[in-house]
A = this chain, B = another copy of it.
Amino acid sequence: MLKLEEVKTDVFNDWCPGCGDFGILSALQQAIAELEVPREKIAVFSGIGCSGKTPHFLNVYGIHTLHGRSLPIAAGAKLANKDLTVIAVGGDGDGYGIGAGHFVATGRRNLDLTYVVFNNGVYGLTKGQSAPTLAKGLRTKSMPAPAIVEAVNPIALAICAGFTFVARSYSLSVKHLKATILAAIRHPGTALVDVLQPCPTYNDLHTKEFWAGADTPDKKPRWYDLQQEGFDAVVRDPEDGGEVVRKKTAGVMKSLEGGEREPVGVFFEWKTATYGEQLAARMPLLAEKPLAEADFSGRDLTPLLAELA
């Protein structure tokens, strides 16, 4: 367990005051501190957006990539060094908009990595256009008119795409979020943590107050904890195809549920062979050490040339 100070950097943080990103950063710092993994074995990848700046505030390897492209780059690093703990972070525009193709492909691949998406309903850094998570009909303050496209449902999409750990949390519920991130990192396979995040500057609908339910009669938060309400997301017998289908369906159904309060927690969890494990079955070297440590000096091409003689 590292000290919190050890996982922070001295880089000036220029997020807006009150931004939900601060909560996510805290949770990430705490999770990393608790992880029992040496700092240099952790690499955090990000896309472009306000959220994209996150790695600069974490004292581990930090790779700030391109808009929508954190996942393939992170995947490359994981393939190169299976001993790395790989975390990708980024915005909802980044991950579910321009990055949707990689999102689907990453789910299918099931490399052992964790993806934390900052879901604020807007394109923060480009000044508040609607993000793919903003529901049809809604209009935040910087939009000229309400959205006329359906929102993506990241939870359902992730489950259908093949993510083997799919969860949601809330950025200002740092404890829940930290625990969720830790569980996601520890999950062997591709994990999604979708984080509901207020953007006080541009999203005047899903504010801190909104999530706290300040305007509701009973002043109860607009989210509830799935697991507290007994939702069982975990596939108990990983080989039981029927159970996998049932748990997937339950997760999708929960995510579609709608209603006054948004469920947070784990929607689906299934421990099945990762891409890395399967690759290792084909490349014995990988069972021994990371690709990056392979010794390739003095290779002999004779057998290859002989094929062509």
Contacts and interface: CB of A to CB of B under 8 A. Distances in A.
Interface stretch (A4-12, A33-41, A146-154, A290-298): A146-154
Contacts of A279: 148
Given A99-B101, A108-B132, A241-B258, A161 B157 contact: yes
Interface stretch (A49-57, A171-179, A230-238, A249-257): A249-257
A105 B110 contact: no
Interface class of chain A by DSSP: helix
Contact of A258 (B149, B151, B162, B245): B245
Nearest to A98: B101
A20 B273 CA distance: 33
Contacts of A104: 96, 100-101, 104, 152, 157
Contacts of A98: 101
Contacts of A241: 258
Contacts of A97: 105
Interface string A240-274: 01100100110011001110000000000000010
A301 B38 CA distance: 63
Interface in A60-105: 96-102, 104-105
Interface in A94-129: 96-102, 104-105, 107-110
B149 A110 contact: yes
A25 interface: no
Interface string A129-150: 0001000000000000100111
A181 interface: no
A156 interface: yes
B149 A153 contact: no
A160 B160 contact: yes
A278 interface: yes
A75 to B, nearest CB: 12
A253 B247 CA distance: 10
A223 interface: no
A277 to B, nearest CB: 9
A282 interface: yes
A15 interface: no
Contact of A160 (B110, B252, B257, B282): B252
A257 B242 CA distance: 8
A275 interface: yes
Contacts of A101: 98-102, 104
A187 to B, nearest CB: 16
- For the complex of A and B, the 6 pairs showing the least CB-CB separation, nearest first, are A101-B101, A150-B162, A148-B278, A156-B160, A100-B101, A100-B104
Given A148-B279, A150-B162, A157-B161, 14 more contacts: A98-B101, A100-B105, A101-B102, A104-B104, A108-B132, A108-B151, A109-B150, A153-B160, A157-B157, A160-B252, A241-B258, A242-B258, A245-B258, A249-B256
